[in-house]
Amino acid sequence: MNESRTHRSLVVAGTGSGAGKTTVTLGLMAALRRRGMTVQGFKCGPDYIDPAYHKAVTGRPSRNLDSWMLTPDTVKEIYARASRDADISIIEGVMGFYDGKDPLSNTGSTAEISLLLDCPVLLVVNCQSMARSAAAIVKGFQCLEPRARIAAVFANRVGSDGHYRIVKEAIEQECGIPVIGYMKREDSLSVPERHLGLVPSIERGELGGLFEALADRIDQTVDMDRLVELAQASEPPAVPEPRLFAEPSRRYRVRMAVARDAAFHFYYPENLELLELYGAELVYFSPLAGEPLPEDVQGLYIGGGFPEEFAERLSAQAQVTDSIRSAVERGLPTLAECGGFMYLTGAIGDTQGRSYPMLGLVPGQVTMQTKLAALGLREVTGAEGNFLLPRGETARGHEFHYSVYEPQSELPHAYETKGLRGAKKDGCLLHRTVAGYTHLHFASNPGIVARWLECCEAYGR
């Protein structure tokens, strides 16, 4: 951190999902940018869409902080590394403040992140249809974990200026903390519901007007000076020495192809940065735009995204599918996660009964459902033959998809996944490819990176 720069931090938490924390977070980020501040965004939990919003507003990559997937020191290192040249870090929570992996503890929750990083909390309360009762809600959040520093309240979805004053007086009298601002119930200023293709629309700048409007409203209804004051000045948490991003014992001379476009864009920044730290040259290409697999590469990474939205276009790119298929069949060391896994199957079927051929490497097809098919944190244990995670090695990640895989024949499974509903064999191995629905966070087991690149080097030879 520059010595002249004072760093501040604030967690924006909600009383529950749907309280409006994303809308408030984006408005605050945009308003702080207007004040000339360098804003670093973070998102608690495994999420790709909110970080895309953050990046669009702040101009900086947003980072995921997850205290279940990652160790405390790793969370601190990711936070300190990203925050070192920022004026203020805004950390958006996940679900409700205390919701996480375990209903009986703070594990994996926004509350745990706030405690781990010693950050003050702005609690977003949906005040619709209540007055003094809002104080009872805030009081409950204060009492459940006295160590958490709930520094202020944001009254969301109030009906009028008068309604806001009532809520503010009740909370400040009963809870002893300030209510620093509000937003009225205005659907035109809410963040769009998550839908297919949302991230590409964010990246194309189609929501720029919304961000400006949110900043206008926040400037009008929030005491920004008080908010900056409450986001206490602090150094990012001390990390004894870099561990995750320590200088590796060796670097690998590898060119790694990475599919990145509107169909494939879900990657943890740390996954890509760790590959680069260990020597990989990342070569990005767009299957959707008809770009075949780049020449002279020794590895391939196809992340998640929304291939189902572009299934017809992907299916029509014969040169692309031929180039990837032949390389995978030759043994190109490949990781295909979620959307990437779907791309490797025989076809993607939509909810209208239409089917679009894909690469045909994994026997069977995936079929889209109208409801979530899987959601949650996952611990994976490698199976025999998995070059990324040898048998018995574990890593952590998450699963989020609306499709269901319907196999035509069995392939060796890649790993065993463990979630709230127990353990099951999952993913598949073929040629030199690991494919499955789970998004792995390499920081949960950095050995993945060295093993993958070593395999790529051997393939190149």
Could you tell me what percentage of the chain is helix, strand and coil, using 3-state DSSP and rounding each to the nearest 5?
Answer: 35, 25, 40
- Tell me which residues are annotated as active site: 338
Alpha carbons 347 and 311: distance in angstroms, whole number: 9
**Contacts of 169 by beta carbon, 8 Å cutoff, 6+ apart:** none
**Contacts of 11 by beta carbon, 8 Å cutoff, 6+ apart:** 44, 91, 93, 110, 113, 114, 117, 119, 120, 121, 122
Asked if residues 401 and 338 have their Cβ atoms less than 8 Å apart, the reply is: yes
Alpha carbons 198 and 195: distance in angstroms, whole number: 6
Residue 284, SS3 per DSSP: strand
Direct distance between the N- and C-terminal alpha carbons of the chain, in angstroms, rounded to an integer:
42
**Which of 330, 327, 320, 343 lies closest to 403 in space, CA to CA?**
343
- Strands 428-430, 150-158: pairing is unpaired
Token couple for 205: 């700048």
**Contacts of 362 by beta carbon, 8 Å cutoff, 6+ apart:** 341, 344, 345, 346, 411, 428, 430, 435
Phi-psi sector, 274: left (phi>0), alpha (psi -120 to 50), beta: alpha
Angle between helices 161-175 and 133-144 (to 10 degrees): 40
**Contacts of 235 by beta carbon, 8 Å cutoff, 6+ apart:** 1, 7
